[in-house]
Amino acid sequence: MNLLLAEDDAILADALTAQLQQAGFAVEHAPNGAVAEYLMLKREFDAAVLDIGLPMVDGLTVLKHVRQSKPALPVLVLTALDGLDDRVAGLNAGADDYLTKPFDFPELEARLRALLRRTRAQPAPSPPSDMGRLAFDRDARRASVDGLPLELSPREWELLDLLLGQRNKVVQKEQITAAWNAADRGGERSGDGPAAPGMIEVYIHRLRRKLEGSGLVIRTVRGLGYLLEPEAPAR
């Protein structure tokens, strides 16, 4: 079972990773919210353990973004806050369960397995269909428009993957840089050079041109970031 652990406390993350691996989980660790959001949108996990107090992007914001495209992913939220309002906020953001620090590992494992049992008893949701004429196969790393393949560099592919995962939501430049850096650390990039914030506009421009005719457009939201959305019909 593949599990994402999003926890910024390195000591706690190391201890939980070791215990979860002994319990039979394959664990991928995200040290901050930007990396957690990128991984949750890009890769397939059976469940996620998400700390609310993550740096860069807080856990509740990550969860709200991820729920747009992955409503069925089981997510257990960790927090040091034990107030009723905090628990309600976590559940309203899309958490399936809530565990307050400090906790005992057997309780965490039991709650995770309960989440997985409930999820497997439910039918899978239908995939989103608002992709215009774009076909996108993440596993095969292929994209096409009306059957014609798109030639995408690694950076362009990662950018399109991130924008698709959050289509109709603004993607900040910091999220793009974090996604590129995460791919670099995972050895998924070659030939595009180092990730630099100043290059984001260049790759956005290239990707816009390649998406022409797809029915999708990348809109610049000044001061915030970029938004992938359906192209407005011609009047």
* Averaged confidence pLDDT in the chain: 83
Mapped onto helix, strand or coil, the DSSP state of residue 206 is helix
C-beta neighbour count of 154 within 10 angstroms: 16
Mean pLDDT of 209-230: 90
Q: Is the pLDDT of residue 125 over 60?
A: no
Q: Is the pLDDT of residue 186 over 70?
A: no
Q: What is the model's pTM?
A: 0.53
128 or 87, which is more confident: 87
Mapped onto helix, strand or coil, the DSSP state of residue 28 is strand
Which phi and psi (to 5°) does residue 19 adopt? -70, -40
CA 44 to chain centroid, in Å, comes to: 10
d(CA 1, CA 9): 23
Q: Is the pLDDT of residue 82 over 70?
A: no
Domains of the chain, CATH where assigned: 2-120 (3.40.50.2300), 134-230 (1.10.10.10)
Model pLDDT, residue 129: 43
Q: Is the dihedral of CA 185, 190, 194, 199 positive or negative?
A: negative
Mean pLDDT of 43-70: 90
Mean pLDDT of 199-214: 92
CA 231 to chain centroid, in Å, comes to: 24
Model pLDDT, residue 174: 86
Q: Quote the tokens at residue 75.
A: 């997510």
**Most confident of the following: 25-39, 65-79, 171-185:** 25-39
What's the start-to-end Cα distance of the chain, in Å? 50
pLDDT in tens, 128-152: 445 778 988 877 788 888 888 899 9
Model pLDDT, residue 130: 54
What does DSSP assign to residue 92?
H
